[in-house]
Amino acid sequence: MSLNGHHTQEKPAPAIVAEPRCDWSVDEILAVLETPLVELVHRAQDVHRAYHEEGTVQLASLLSIKTGACPEDCKYCPQSAHYAKETGLEREILLDVDTVLERARAAKGAGATRFCMGAAWREVHDGPQFDQVLQMVSGVREMGMEACVTLGMLSQDQADRLADAGLTAYNHNLDTSPEFYSEIISTRTYQDRIDTISCVRKSGIDVCCGGIIGMGESDRDRASMLQVLASMDPHPESVPINALVAVPGTPLENQKPVEAIEMVRMIATARIIMPKSRVRLSAGRQSLSREAQILCLLAGANSIFYGKKLLTTPNPETEQDIEMIREAGLHVLEADAEGR
Ligand code: SAM
Ligand code: DTB
Ligand code: SF4
C-alpha cells in the first residue's frame, strides 16, 4: 500500500547474488564435477538464472585469418606444422583486411554480435602483419561488433596496442591442467600461457580463456584446469569449453569422442564456479546431438561459435543453430544500444 492509499505494484526484491569466489580448491571443484547429474544441472540452472536473468545466447562467429604451418606442436591441432604431412592441411598467408571485414559484415548480417579471428602463430611479431590485424580489429569494432583475436603469445606492448585498436577480448586457452600439459604440448610452458593472459588483463582487454576435454585427461585434470581459471581475479569474462575435434593425421586422431554428458558436466561446473562468466559451448558440436547441445545450454552455456566452419573444421549450419536456440526457449543476444 502506498502513502496515498493506492495499491502499488510491489517490486520483487533483487536476487542476492554473491561475488564470485576465486579460492576454489581442486577437490571442491572435482566434487562439483562428480555431483549426481540432476543435482548438478539443477544447481547450475540456479546459478545461471541468478546471474544471467535474460536467457540469451551470444553468437560468436569465427574466422581463421592465417591458417596452418604453426611451429608449435599442440597434439590436438590440425594447424601444427609438425603434423602437416599427415593432415594435409594447406598453409595460407594472412588474409587481407578487406576480405576479413567482408566476412565480419556477413557474420553480422547472419546475427552474430562477436567476431573472433584466429591466427596459427606461436606468438605475435611486430611488423606489417600485426599492423594489419590491428586494422581488422578496429574495422570490426566500427561495424558495431565485439572483436576477439587469438594470435598466440604476446608482450605487454602488443596487448596495449590491441587495446588501443579497440579489441574487446583476447582468446588464449589453458587447454588442459598444469599436470597434463606436457603430455599435449612440448614447445611452450603453462607459465607462458599464464604470462600472456596477465598481459591481456593488464591492458584492460577482456580475457577469453578455457580449454579442451577429450584428450585423455582425468576428471581431476579437468577440475585442475577449472581451478586455474577460477583462481583468476576477476574470472575470465568468457570461458570456451571445447570438446576435442579428433582430426585425422594429428596425434590425438584416435581419441574416443567425448560423451555428451561429460560436456554437460564440464559446462555446469564452469557455470557454478565462475557464475558471471560467459561460458561458450565451443568446438565439438558436430558430434553432439541437438538434444545434448540443448542440455549444455540448460546447464549454463550462454554462447556458441556460430557459422558453418570453426577455424579449419566444420560447425553446424546457422539455420540449425537459430532453430535450436528457439526450441530451447532462449533468445539470441542482440547488439546493445551502442552497437556493442
Ligand atoms: N595459435 C594460437 C594459440 O594456440 O593460442 C591461437 C589459435 S589456436 C587454434 C586456439 C585454440 O583452439 C587452442 O588453444 C585450442 O584450445 C583450440 N583448438 C585447436 N584445435 C582444436 C581441436 N582439434 N579441438 C578442439 N579445440 C581445438
Ligand atoms: C576456442 O576455444 N575454440 C576455437 C577458438 N577458441 C579459437 C577454436 C576451435 C578450433 C577447432 C579446430 C579447428 O577448426 O581447427
Ligand atoms: Fe599453433 Fe595454436 Fe594450433 Fe598450437 S593450437 S599448433 S599454437 S595454432
Domain residue ranges in the chain = 26-335
Closest ligand to 70 CA?
Answer: 3
Q: Which alpha helices (DSSP H) does 204-339 contain, by range?
A: 219-230, 260-273, 290-298, 318-327
Cα 23 from Cα 272, distance rounded (Å): 13
**CB count in 10 Å sphere of residue 244:** 23
Q: Does the structure show a pLDDT above 60 at 338?
A: no
Q: Which ligand is nearest to the CA of 315?
A: 2
When the candidates are 3.80.10.10, 3.20.20.70, 2.60.120.620, 3.40.50.740, the CATH number that belongs to 26-335 is 3.20.20.70
Contacts of 228 (CB under 8 A, 6+ apart): 174, 177, 178, 194
- Catalytic entry in 43, 70, 209, 222: 70
Average pLDDT over residues 247-272: 96
Residue with cell 583468476: 232
Ligand 3 binding pocket (C-beta < 6 A) is: 70, 72, 74, 77, 79-80, 120, 122, 152
Is residue 28 exposed (0-12), middle (13-18) or buried (19+ Cβ within 10 Å)?
middle
pLDDT value, residue 237: 97
Query: What single-letter amino acid sits at 323?
Result: E
Alpha carbons 29 and 256: distance in angstroms, whole number? 24
pLDDT band at residue 95, thresholds of 50, 70 and 90?
very high
pLDDT tier for residue 49 given thresholds of 50, 70 and 90: very high
Quote the ligand 2 centre to 311 CA distance (angstroms).
Answer: 6
The rounded mean pLDDT for the chain is: 92
Mean pLDDT value of segment 121-144: 96
pLDDT at 10 over 70: no
Residue nearest to atom 8 of ligand 3 (CA): 120
CA of 115 to the centre of ligand 3 (A): 19
For residues 117 and 20, which has the higher predicted lDDT (pLDDT)?
117
pTM of the model: 0.92
List Cβ neighbours of 39 (8 Å cut-off, separation of 6 or more).
none
Convert the pLDDT of each residue in 151-185 to its tens digit: 999 999 999 999 999 999 999 999 999 999 999 99
Is residue 306 scored above 80 in pLDDT?
Answer: yes
**246 has a pLDDT exceeding 70:** yes
Q: What is the pLDDT of residue 337?
A: 47
| pLDDT score of 2 more than 50 | no
